[in-house]
């Protein structure tokens, strides 16, 4: 992890390069994170790659409901020489959930961006093949959003049984 100072130095360099990109930095439980503007993700990842973070370990989605903007995408990066990790975060709204795709520079993001699209509905612009990856292709809705109904079968467990209902008669 970059320590708090190292994280600020990195963010400062990033601000010099891309003045609009950095929105916030957080250092929580020994883990540094930079929150950026959604449109600048490709430039930011190119910048941190030059600083040693050459391995994109994971791309994942979040739903911060009821905060706005609701949806989040996180990119976990790893510097394998200095054993250093960095999180790049961005937030988009459900009305306009568009993020530039990083598949061109990071081929590993292909399936992971498809999964974030499948589960949260974040549209990655420039992705070569943005389809659902886990759910059926005719599935409606994005099941990991927190306002999505839980669904499933209603099951009457023993401890919920109330005498006189249809189930227990």
The residues that touch other proteins, with contacts defined as CB under 8 A, are: 134-137, 139, 143, 148-153, 155
The CA distances from residue 158 to 60, 108, 150, 154, 169, in Å, are 37, 46, 21, 13, 14
Identify which of residues 35 and 63 has a Cβ nearer to other proteins in the complex: 63
Identify which of residues 81 and 140 has a Cβ nearer to other proteins in the complex: 140
Residue 2 Cβ, how far from other proteins at the closest point, in Å? 37
Sheet holding 84-92, edge to edge: 22-28, 31-36, 84-92, 71-79, 55-63
Residue 62 Cβ, how far from other proteins at the closest point, in Å? 18
Identify which of residues 30 and 141 has a Cβ nearer to other proteins in the complex: 141
Strand partners, 31: 28
Separation between Cα atoms, residue 30 and residue 108, nearest integer Å: 26
Identify which of residues 28 and 157 has a Cβ nearer to other proteins in the complex: 157
What does the DSSP 8-state code read for residue 54?
-
Separation between Cα atoms, residue 45 and residue 28, nearest integer Å: 21
Residue 144 Cβ, how far from other proteins at the closest point, in Å? 9
Residue 58 Cβ, how far from other proteins at the closest point, in Å? 21
């Amino acid at each position: 992890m970059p320590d708090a100072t190292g994280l600020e130095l990195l963010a400062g360099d990033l601000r010099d390069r891309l003045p609009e990109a950095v929105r916030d930095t957080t250092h929580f439980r020994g883990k540094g994170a930079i929150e950026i503007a959604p449109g600048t993700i490709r430039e930011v990842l190119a910048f941190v790659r030059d600083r040693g973070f050459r391995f994109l370990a994971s791309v994942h989605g979040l739903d911060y409901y009821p905060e706005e903007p609701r949806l989040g995408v996180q990119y976990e990066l790893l510097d394998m020489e200095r054993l250093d990790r960095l999180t790049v975060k961005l937030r988009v709204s459900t009305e306009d959930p568009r993020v530039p795709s990083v598949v061109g520079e990071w081929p590993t993001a292909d399936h992971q961006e498809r999964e974030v699209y499948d589960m949260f509905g974040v549209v990655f612009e420039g992705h070569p093949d943005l389809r659902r990856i886990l759910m059926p292709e005719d599935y409606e809705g994005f099941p990991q959003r927190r306002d999505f109904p839980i669904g499933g079968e209603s099951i009457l467990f023993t401890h919920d049984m109330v005498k006189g209902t249809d189930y227990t008669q």
